[in-house]
Structure 1
Amino acid sequence: MGADAPIGVFDSGIGGLSVLKYIHACLPNEQLLYFADSGFAPYGGRPESEIVARSLAIAEFLLQYNAKALVVACNTATAAAIKAIRERYPTLPVVGVEPGLKPAAALTKTGTVGVMATKGTLSSDKFHQLREQISAVTNVVFLPQPCIGLADQVEKGELHSAATATLVRGYVEPLIEQGADTLVLGCTHYPFVLPLIEEILAHVTTRPIAVVDTGEPVARQLVRLLSERALLRQDGPGTLSGFTTGSKSSLESAFDKLLGIRPPVMQIAASS
């Protein structure tokens, strides 16, 4: 598998486009494959065994295209399934996303950080271990806030609707009331409602609130792993192809609306 092989990126839906944006910017020569498992979205409320099965099936699909690396651009899938993917493909570079607790701990002045994520991410062993490990060293208090339904709103393209604003306010306000001065966006869908989050923050507090998004560190880690293995594609135009188990037109619209690009998209049977 050489440097010209593609990089596979997947998410439960369109949230991973927030990570793909950084990867595309950092690695403009690469051939990228983006898989949106929208037929099964959201992953947040699904049993862990189901998320593992879906993640392994998608990894297998992307490896049929000779992917030289995989990015699990979904917090819930990273928490549930990255270990299983690495065990099945021990030589494959695999990068996951996890809530940015460490950068948030470095930013907070009040020592209180709100973590907005899916129920699946917040109840995972991986999250609990990370939280305990960082709290033990920094004494920072992390307030977990399950954001039920917020990823769904992003999937539907409702980035600024009244219903989405009501949800965001209901999740953000209690964190601010409890003294959080830093918010972690612990789901790759949430950066797409950042303008709405900032708007609501301006209404509920006069204190400056830092917001941590983890897309950029994921792209940096991918660059590092590919460099170590001499797998970076040095020249030639980058390409991007999309796959979805949901609606083809929905993913095409998301690429256009969220990233301003129009790559080819192929619909995949949900059993693939």
Structure 2
Amino acid sequence: MADTGSIGIFDSGIGGLPIAREIHRLLPGEDIAYVADTHHAPYGEKSDAAILARAFAVTDFLVTRQAKAIVVACNTATTTCIRALRERYALPFIGVEPGIKPAVLNSRSGVVGVLATPKTLVTESFLSLAAKVAGNVKMEVMPCPELVRQVESLQLDCPQARQVVAQYVQPLLDRGADTIVLGCTHYVHLKPLIAEVAGPGVTIISTEEAVARETRRRLSQENRLRPTSADTVGQTAFFSNGDPQRFRDQVQTLWGQCDIIGAFPATV
């Protein structure tokens, strides 16, 4: 019998919303429970142990929301602890990783730029992936400690945002990159601005559509897809342990109308 629970999604903030939107588009009949662990953001500045503790805490909360699968919608959390999550919980976990492989296949100049948090760029998972798929393509990495804060403050298309984006993107262009990978889910909110700064000859790679397809595949494989009709629309619920009004503004700006906006205890 198919599972009628919710699809749990979490990130250190609002970075996972583009993934949630793609999942909702692909599986409109499924309930979604999204957690922004804003009180403990950004994950990219925390130790492995701290990130793992947060992942366990958020997962425990999502289990109380009847999660039947959990999407770790954060590159840093995925590379740091998804293996431990899969060992601890009897649930499907879908992670995210930078789209290096499609970027390598796309590049004509033989140079791929990667924008990511400092933490992601030094994880064994990222380094292993880059070494495995790079081949003869040169990988130029750029740690971007300020971009998450730009997104969380909804500074997505203003002179300050353009200046911050340019300081990270221009060095990659100077090194010959014709393809840029967004190695943090938060950066997808800045994708139009990054593309504008990079110029029409540069391809920007993000992975929210691939993550949504993998979520559908895993749920189908484990017979956990909800039976739906053409007009069935699932419930969307969003939770944060940050400032409630700020989170409401973020969700309404980036998502629009939703069913529930609630609190996730900061002490959890």
TM-score range, shorter chain: over 0.9
Contact 1:255/1:263 (CA < 8 Å) preserved in 2?
no
SS at match of 1:44: helix
Normalising by structure 1, report the TM-score: 0.94
Contact 1:6/1:69 (CA < 8 Å) preserved in 2?
yes
Q: Tell me how far 1:180 sits from its aligned partner.
A: 0.4
Q: Tell me how far 1:189 sits from its aligned partner.
A: 0.7
In the alignment, structure 1 residue 238 sits paired with structure 2 residue 234: yes
Could you give the per-residue CA deviations for residues 160-198 of structure 1, whole angstroms, max 9, x where no partner exists? 222221111010000001010000011111111112112
Q: Tell me how far 1:2 sits from its aligned partner.
A: 4.8
Normalising by structure 2, report the TM-score: 0.96
Contact 2:237/2:258 (CA < 8 Å) preserved in 1?
no
For the aligned residue pairs, the C-alpha RMSD in angstroms reads 1.3
1:96 corresponds in structure 2 to 95
Could you give the per-residue CA deviations for residues 243-262 of structure 1, whole angstroms, max 9, x where no partner exists? 10102222222222112223
1:183 corresponds in structure 2 to 180
Aligned AA for 2:220? S
2:213 corresponds in structure 1 to 220
In the alignment, structure 1 residue 121 sits paired with structure 2 residue 114: no
Mark the runs of 5 or more structure 1 residues left unpaired by the alignment: none
Select 2:253's aligned residue among 253, 257, 264.
257
**TM superposition outliers: structure 1 runs of 4+ over 3 Å:** none
Q: Tell me how far 1:9 sits from its aligned partner.
A: 0.3
Number of residues of Structure 1 aligned to a counterpart in Structure 2: 265
Equivalent-residue separation in structure 2 for 1:265 and 1:149 (angstroms) = 27
SS at match of 1:69: strand
Mark the runs of 5 or more structure 2 residues left unpaired by the alignment: none
Aligned AA for 1:139? N
Aligned AA for 1:190? Y
Could you give the per-residue CA deviations for residues 68-103 of structure 1, whole angstroms, max 9, x where no partner exists? 0000001111111111101101x3110001000011
- Counterparts of residues 5-44 of structure 1 (less than 5 Å): 5-44=5-44
Equivalent-residue separation in structure 1 for 2:146 and 2:118 (angstroms) = 10
Equivalent-residue separation in structure 1 for 2:42 and 2:246 (angstroms) = 15
